[in-house]
């Protein structure tokens, strides 16, 4: 039985790359059993999955089994659906892509992605794209943002499709690895992909001048084989990165700057919001935790707490 990697999912069809041939493609479907397993996922098979499949007489395939996933990046399902939506599986590293301008980067989005990457043991990198649009007035703010994340041990870089050195640096980081771009629409993910893999020419669109928000051009997640031996997953633009499978009490453990000092808190179940003797709050007041990071923690903790309360009331 042949084995392959899922490159794309469009409705009921899955594009599979055979393990033995990166140039070949097999269009596969899934039997009903995958939809009857009681999965709490909106997509039983995700881009990046390694699958076993059977070739049919017409040249198409039927997916028989999914190999165990080593890693995954998930978000909370949207559009009224419940459960988990897996954006991509079996990735080595994730790049959260934000724009210096048009639309302006949001550290809250970055921090939510970093928490997920920490939880799923995926190397996380931060890209501030469209560096060519940066102004002198923004220089100090951008430098401060870079300094915050570098001090935490994260790779963060400025990039632009008009800067060949930054494109080459990204390509080198992705060689022989499976990577993913995550970010809102309009941040230039697909343009960067086109620059990293010349000749691909995926469609891009301008940012709306009315809302200053990106227009969706990538409608399905797709895993692109790169000439450097790696793979890069291009994902649809995400306006909000909804955390899933997290308890409020776990969040601080995925903030490196809080993880170390939280052991010194007076209470073992400290929320780091109001308790006396909280080492995390003391570190924040002493300037050891950036205000933007502490604000992100509060936002995540409160949103997860509200969700837990809502789920509890629905059960009653």
Q: What is the pLDDT of residues 9-32, one digit of tens each?
A: 887 899 999 998 989 999 999 887
- The CATH H-level (homologous superfamily) assignment of domain 248-315 is Probable gtpase engc; domain 3 (1.10.40.50)
Q: What is the mean pLDDT of residues 64-87?
A: 79
Q: Which residue has the tokens 């039997």?
A: 31
Which of the four pLDDT bands, split at 50, 70 and 90, describes residue 312? low
Secondary-structure breakdown of the chain: helix, strand, coil percentages, each rounded to the nearest 5: 30, 25, 45
pLDDT at position 149, please? 98
Of residues 204 and 116, more confidence is placed in: 116
Contacts with 15 (C-beta within 8 Å, 6 or more apart), sequence order = 6, 7, 8, 9, 25, 26, 27, 28
Which of the four pLDDT bands, split at 50, 70 and 90, describes residue 244? confident
As a whole number, the mean pLDDT across the chain is 86
Contacts with 109 (C-beta within 8 Å, 6 or more apart), sequence order = 96, 98, 183, 184, 240, 241
Which of the four pLDDT bands, split at 50, 70 and 90, describes residue 267? very high
Of residues 114 and 120, more confidence is placed in: 114
The CATH classification number of 73-234 equals 3.40.50.300
Q: In whole angstroms, what is the distance from residue 77 CA to residue 42 CA?
A: 7
Q: In whole angstroms, what is the distance from residue 266 CA to residue 124 CA?
A: 31
Q: In whole angstroms, what is the distance from residue 211 CA to residue 109 CA?
A: 18
Q: What is the pLDDT of residues 31-75, one digit of tens each?
A: 876 654 555 566 789 999 999 999 999 999 999 999 999 998 887
Q: Is the pLDDT of residue 209 over 50?
A: no
Q: In whole angstroms, what is the distance from residue 254 CA to residue 203 CA?
A: 36
Q: Which residue has the tokens 């400290």?
A: 270
Q: CB–CB of 92/180 below 8 Å?
A: no
Q: Is the pLDDT of residue 285 over 90?
A: yes
Structure tokens at 167: 């494109």
Which of the four pLDDT bands, split at 50, 70 and 90, describes residue 218? very low
pLDDT at position 43, please? 77
Q: In whole angstroms, what is the distance from residue 275 CA to residue 293 CA?
A: 19
Of residues 240 and 256, more confidence is placed in: 256
Domain boundaries, the chain: 3-67, 73-234, 248-315
Q: CB–CB of 18/49 below 8 Å?
A: no
Longest distance between any two alpha carbons in the chain, whole Å: 70
- Could you please state the CATH topology (level 3) that the domain comprising 3-67 is classified under: OB fold (Dihydrolipoamide Acetyltransferase, E2P) (2.40.50)
Q: In whole angstroms, what is the distance from residue 251 CA to residue 246 CA?
A: 7
Structure tokens at 182: 């995550």
pLDDT at position 44, please? 83
3-67 and 73-234 have identical folds: no
Structure tokens at 115: 């928490």
């Amino acid at each position: 039985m042949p084995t392959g990697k899922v490159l794309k999912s469009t409705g009921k069809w899955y594009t599979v790359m055979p393990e033995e041939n990166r140039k070949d493609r097999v269009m596969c479907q899934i039997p009903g059993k995958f939809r009857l397993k009681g999965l709490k996922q909106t997509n039983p098979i995700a881009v990046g999955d390694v699958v076993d499949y059977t070739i049919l007489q017409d040249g198409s395939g039927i997916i028989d089994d999914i190999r165990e996933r080593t890693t995954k990046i998930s978000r909370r399902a949207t559009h009224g659906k419940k459960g988990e939506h897996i954006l991509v599986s079996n990735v080595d590293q994730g790049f959260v892509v934000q724009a210096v301008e048009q639309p302006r980067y949001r550290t809250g989005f970055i921090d939510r992605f970093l928490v997920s990457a920490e939880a799923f043991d995926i190397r996380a990198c931060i890209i501030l794209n469209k560096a060519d649009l940066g102004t002198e007035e923004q220089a100090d703010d951008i430098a401060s943002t870079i300094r915050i994340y570098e001090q935490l041990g994260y790779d963060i870089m400025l990039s632009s499709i008009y800067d060949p050195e930054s494109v080459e640096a990204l390509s080198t980081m992705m060689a022989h690895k499976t990577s993913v771009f995550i970010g809102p629409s309009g941040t230039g993910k697909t343009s960067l992909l086109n620059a990293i893999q010349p000749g691909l020419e995926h469609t891009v669109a301008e940012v709306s001048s009315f809302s200053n928000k990106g227009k969706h051009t990538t409608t399905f997640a797709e895993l692109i084989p790169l000439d450097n031996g790696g793979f890069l997953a291009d994902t649809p633009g995400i306006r909000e990165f909804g955390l899933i499978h997290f308890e409020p009490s776990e969040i601080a453990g995925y903030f490196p700057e809080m993880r170390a000092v939280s052991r010194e808190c007076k209470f073992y179940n400290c929320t780091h919001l109001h308790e006396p003797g909280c080492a995390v709050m003391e570190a924040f007041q002493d300037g050891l935790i950036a205000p933007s990071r502490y604000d992100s923690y509060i936002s995540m903790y409160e949103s997860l707490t509200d969700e837990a309360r809502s789920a509890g009331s629905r059960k009653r």
